[in-house]
Amino acid sequence: MANRFARKTGNWNASDVWSDTPSGTAGAQYIPGPGDVAMANSYTVTVNVDSTCAEVRTDTTGGATTGGRFTLADGVTLTANPYAGSTICVYYAGSATANVVGNVNGGTSSTNAYGANNAGAGTLNVTGNASAGSAASSVGVLNSGAGNITVSGNVAAGTSASTFGASNTSSGNITISGVVYGSASAHGVQNSGIGTITIDADAIGGSGSNTHGAYNSSTGTIIVNGEAVGGSGSNSIGAYNASLGTMRVAVAVGNNHGPGYSTNNGNPGVYGYGTNSGGQPTTTVGAIRYGAYGQSPTSGRVLFDPNYAASATTVLIRESTLEQVTFTGPDNTSADPDPADVRHGTSYRFGQQVGTCHVPPAGSVAVGVPVDDETGTAVLSGGGGATAQDIWEYSDRTLTSGGGGGGGATAQEVWEYSARTLTDKANFTLHADYDAAKTAASQASVNAVPTAPLLAANYTAPDNAGIASTLAAVNALHDFDPASDTVAHVTLVDTVTTLTNSPDVPSESEIATAVWEHTERTLSEDGGGASPTEIADAVRDELAPELASITALETRLEEQVPTGPVVVLPAPGPGQTVAWTMCYDEHGAAETGVVIQIKLVQPAGAGLALDGAVVEAVSDGDGLVTVAIPRGAGLRFSARRWTEVLRATWLGRRLDAVQWGGRRHRGVAGSARFAVIAPRTAPGDAL
């Protein structure tokens, strides 16, 4: 953060106004920016463009000369925290709008050093808090013209006499969104003009003597839309109307003075003094709330404000318990019960409402059922009550317990009783719809019904002997032996047999598994399907391309791979070829331990370096010699059996393996073949 000092009176964005020292040379590089502190340095700087820095000051910070000011042009926004020194810090006298985004602070070294002052007809908007200074009359924000000031934050008084957080001295208006606080030395806000100060939150009295939250000293108006709360100092009222002006407060609240008090000075929330020419008080409240220890919320001449009729309440403190008791006015129905919840005929809300709820007497309510402040006592009886027919024909017939100590059976006990027999009662008859049932048959005719189920005419029931004969014949059917007994006539009936008819037959899944796992599965023609020959032909046709490829590969291998034993060679390394040969003794048998020497005798191209080192390899138990050599076209190698003078030479290949041999050279110990053959070449290989 750097200090910037005005060197002359001029515009904020002028290159010849600012320096980095109080008496230094000005330059465009010193125009204040974010994080800088701009010092008026006794000069007047006009903020002609939107500007941003940390602070703007008219004191002696950084060695500056006290005084000067920052004057706002119409339409600009200054984003900074203003600090007054011995003079006004931010000044606006325009007719449109100007803005300060920051917390405004009154002066500390001289009187009337306002943090911000609107002296014109326009509107000065402060987005932040406003606080008075420590020098006398160093107000936080002052409205001395016909215009307006709006403060979005809180407003607080200073520490010296008349250091109001906000002051209106003319016909203009001040609107404050936050809370207003009196201090030990001054009021939070004072209206000594004819305009209006509106506080949308609370106004709280100070801690000093006669330091009110909001003080109306002339014919202007103060409106508190929140609460006006008494302070702790002597005669420090939340909102004090001291003259003929108008004061309107939403809620007046007494401070915490009383038995068991937390403050020694009893102060109301609102005091009303002034009257107009008609003699009527001009101080009104919408609701009152006594302090926590019983301090009265108002004093002086204060009336109820009908503008708050819909929300008017009075809160008193109950003796000994200190509980709050709330009373509401005739227009405040927010806490009223619905008429349907109030006993029929009961009047309330000052006669404006009458209850409509009909509460039956206990004698008309069943025993044990709650009603009013007791329970029902009614029990059904035959004396003049409903008849049995009335009860039986009633649409709902639900048994309920008597309860209440009546000793009657419960519905559950009636239902579970072991004997439920209808008994005859006087005057009890069945409905006419059942007359036919009553006369359809007599008891005697019912008793005469035979127990045998067959009543057909001419039917003769079998006697005991006939029944025994029939039973013997039935039993004989179970003893039938097809091998020895004869049947005169048997009629076969078509049946359907499934694999699951018998518990001894394996399941379908078991049969399918056994068939599939059988070692021999021979295809046979069945049900019009393909024959085995047709299936085989189809398989051959499907595999014909693959079979042809296999045949061609076999033919090629036969052409390229000589007959004889299979030689297994190690895989070559990167850029190498495996050279190999077979060693034999003079009898033609594979010879072990033969030393073979190989040497590169010609590089791949003219003028290239030649590595002529000799590489040796020894034959194994099968007479096989393998050795890794450089790989590439154009290379020429020489090889010899160590005991022989004759050599064989060959050209290099881009192959994985080469064999030398072809001629048999007799030596002292045996022979070796020296020649190079390539069983198969890859595309691009040099042979």
Query: Over the stretch 159-178, which tens digit does the pLDDT of each residue have?
Result: 999 999 999 999 999 999 99
Strand extents, DSSP E, 504-641: 576-584, 595-602, 614-618, 624-630, 636-641
pLDDT score, position 677: 34
- The yes-or-no verdict on residue 234 having pLDDT over 90 is yes
pLDDT score, position 551: 84
Report CA-CA distances (Å) from 243 to 139, 218, 282, 311: 22, 5, 9, 27
Convert the pLDDT of each residue in 464-488 to its tens digit.
888 888 888 777 766 666 666 665 5
327 vs 231: which has the higher pLDDT? 231
- The yes-or-no verdict on residue 564 having pLDDT over 70 is no
Average pLDDT rounded to a whole number, residues 527-554: 79
**To the nearest 10°, the Cα dihedral for 665, 670, 675, 679?**
140
Pick from 33-47, 223-237, 365-379, 539-553: least confident: 539-553
- The yes-or-no verdict on residue 256 having pLDDT over 80 is yes
243 vs 498: which has the higher pLDDT? 243
Q: Are 142 and 170 in contact (CB under 8 A)?
A: no
Phi, psi for 351 (deg, rounded to 5): 80, 0
Most confident option among 245-254, 521-530, 632-641: 245-254
pLDDT score, position 663: 38
- The yes-or-no verdict on residue 650 having pLDDT over 80 is no
- Local structure of 93: helix, strand or coil: coil
Q: Are 110 and 84 in contact (CB under 8 A)?
A: no
Average pLDDT rounded to a whole number, residues 500-507: 60
- Local structure of 486: helix, strand or coil: coil
Average pLDDT rounded to a whole number, residues 436-455: 61
Nearest residue to 39 (alpha-carbon basis) of 82, 75, 73, 77 = 82
- The yes-or-no verdict on residue 10 having pLDDT over 50 is yes
In sequence order, the 6+-apart residues with CB closer than 8 A to the CB of 128 are 81, 100, 101, 102, 103, 104, 151, 152, 153
pLDDT score, position 170: 95
Mean pLDDT value across the chain: 80
397 vs 267: which has the higher pLDDT? 267
How many whole angstroms separate alpha carbon 145 and alpha carbon 143? 6
Convert the pLDDT of each residue in 360-413 to its tens digit.
998 889 888 999 889 999 886 655 555 556 655 665 555 554 444 445 565 566
pLDDT score, position 676: 36
- The yes-or-no verdict on residue 654 having pLDDT over 60 is no
Q: Label residue 548 by pLDDT band (50, 70, 90).
A: confident
